[in-house]
Structure 1
Amino acid sequence: MKKILVPVDFSEYSENALKVASEIAKKQNAEIVAVHMLGLSEAVITKEDNSMEGMFFLKLTQKRFAEFLDKDYLEGLTIHQTVKNYQVFSEIDDVAKEHNADLIVMGSHGSSGLSEVFVGSNTEKVVRTASVPVLVIKEDTSFNASNAVFACDFHLESLEVFKRITAFFKALDIKVNLMYVNIPGESYYSTEEIEQRIVNFLIHLHEDNTILPKDIAIYSDYTVEKGVFNYAKKVKADIIGIPTHGRKGLAHFFSGSISEDIVNHSKLPVLTVKI
């Protein structure tokens, strides 16, 4: 891991993400790219008579950025600052590609009940569209995760996601509890059917794979979200890893909406990787 991208809106939530990013960067000897979305209207930045207004906002943001990044916990790290005039958070992926980032760390206050229509939507957009792993942080806490739950559907299209998430946890010396959530309805499978799918999945992993079918828990619950949270509580996990299909290919049990619900409602950090 060489570069970590952190979207910054100067809130306490983006500072929570910045703290976690700094801890990971120190462990991985990585650099941090802090990006702020300026979001000026096209009228402000394109009309000649408004150019001074656009420059004013840019200078003001740069000054605020410098003050925001003046933190003791960033000492010794290489920090890159960039201000983009994007207005759509899905464009964060463009910034990640531009800087060859390996990870996006983003703060969120999540949501609950009816408020989730308005809350956490920017985080959802990044999770849904990012081509690199996204780590969502909810609280102001040190990132001392040592025990993870990784929920997977064990379809072959999830192989690369499986490798990326397990490699991330291994790099940070985090133990991984692998699980499959079996739910009632059309997505229900017999234990024998699930075990056969898992065996087939493991056969297709790299030849140095040491994971055995018995290492993967088959956990039954009413929804995938409840299953992930209840199993995480059972094994005392302090981070959750999940794949996401984004808004494409909503087959199998990790549709975009399920992944976003887990990200929104989890109090634990959540690592997502797009299939």
Structure 2
Amino acid sequence: MKRILVPTDFSNHAEYALKVAAQIAKKNDGEIFLIHMLELPTTGADALSRSHEMPELMLFKNIAVNKLDELMHSDYLAEVQVTKIIQFELAFDGIVKSAETHNADLIVMGSHGANGFQEMFIGSNTEKVVRNADIPVLVIKREEPNFNADKFVFASDFSDEAKKPFEKAFSFAKEFGSKLHLVNINTPNNFKSTIVAEETMEQFLEGVDTTDITTHIYNDVNVEKGILHFSKSIDADIIGMSTHGRKGLAHFFNGSISEDLVNHAKRPVITFKI
């Protein structure tokens, strides 16, 4: 993962993500694309074409340029190639488009999470990027001075559609030298006997080098709590999940476990699009 996109709003959580991205870039001889989004007014279809006529926008742009320059001179970015980007666009939409434009293979974002009313009706830009990005999204929730992925939990239902994101997670684990802990969360509403669960995982892993892989079955009241509790029980460094990228009413009614984890987990979470 050599081309890393890092969105920033200049908050502490965004800088936590940038510091982690710097560590990853140094280990992998990678580069960082540091992007700040200036959201345009939504009134008028020609807002972008008239942006040069909006003094307040140009003022905000100049402020952003100065802040980006300050960030780029941070000690932790020494010896890392960093390209600064400022775009006039809706934040989450611009981040996803910029990742495609710059051929990024990883997005690293900070998040303080969301709860209750805000989580249901507003959500976070991080959650929206997780839902829409085609490349892996690594979400950082706190300062990680020595980021590593030694103990990597990947939760799955081990269905056929989970094979593609698993391949991405497996590749990530190889690149970071991770011990991969595959976990099947058993819940009262979707219970499998141990024998059935073990057989499902064995079939899923046919043909895969399992040298650095262990499998686990963990019982809990729901999948999200099961992942969080299991990760805590082994002191995991990072949690991985696949995401369906549900939108509209389907997302509202079905939700997304990966997005819930992004909001609620304290550990880093990385998502892989199905």
Q: Is the shorter-chain TM-score for this pair beyond 0.5, marking a shared fold? A: yes
- What is the deviation of 1:118? 7.0
Instruction: Figure out how many residues of one structure are paired with residues of the other and give that number.
Output: 266
Gap regions ≥5 residues in structure 1: none
Query: Is the Cα–Cα contact under 8 Å of residues 21 and 105 in structure 1 kept in the other structure?
Result: yes
- What is the deviation of 1:69? 2.3
Distance 1:150 1:48 in 2: 44
For the pair 1:21 / 2:25, whether they are aligned, the reply is: no
Structure 1 segment 41-80 matched on structure 2, within 5 A: 41=41, 45-47=48-50, 50-80=53-83
Query: Is the Cα–Cα contact under 8 Å of residues 6 and 34 in structure 1 kept in the other structure?
Result: yes
Query: Is the Cα–Cα contact under 8 Å of residues 45 and 54 in structure 1 kept in the other structure?
Result: no
Structure 1 segment 131-210 matched on structure 2, within 5 A: 131-142=134-145, 143-185=147-189, 187-203=190-206, 207=207, 209-210=208-209
Distance 1:174 1:71 in 2: 29
Aligned residue identity for 2:218: Y
Instruction: State the partner residue of 1:108.
Output: 111
Distance 2:22 2:122 in 1: 26
**SS, match of residue 230 in structure 1:** helix
- What is the deviation of 1:191? 2.6
- What is the deviation of 1:46? 2.8
Distance 2:172 2:51 in 1: 47
Instruction: State the partner residue of 2:235.
Output: 236
**SS, match of residue 124 in structure 1:** helix
Instruction: State the partner residue of 2:39.
Output: 39
Distance 2:51 2:58 in 1: 11
Distance 2:174 2:123 in 1: 29
Change (3 A) 1:256 1:49: closer
Distance 1:52 1:85 in 2: 14
- What is the deviation of 1:7? 0.4
Change (3 A) 1:245 1:66: same
Distance 2:109 2:158 in 1: 27
Distance 2:221 2:59 in 1: 54
- What is the deviation of 1:129? 0.5
Once structures 1 and 2 are overlaid, which stretch shifts more, 119-128 or 76-85? 119-128
**SS, match of residue 80 in structure 1:** strand
Change (3 A) 1:172 1:120: farther
Percent identity, aligned pairs only, is 46
Instruction: State the partner residue of 1:220.
Output: 219
**SS, match of residue 107 in structure 2:** strand
Change (3 A) 1:94 1:49: closer
TM-score by length of structure 1 reads 0.88
Change (3 A) 1:233 1:49: closer
Post-superposition Cα deviations, 1:156-211, rounded to whole Å, max 9, x if no partner, equal 111121111121122112222111001111x22233332332232122xxx4x222
Query: Is the Cα–Cα contact under 8 Å of residues 52 and 58 in structure 2 kept in the other structure?
Result: no
Instruction: State the partner residue of 1:7.
Output: 7
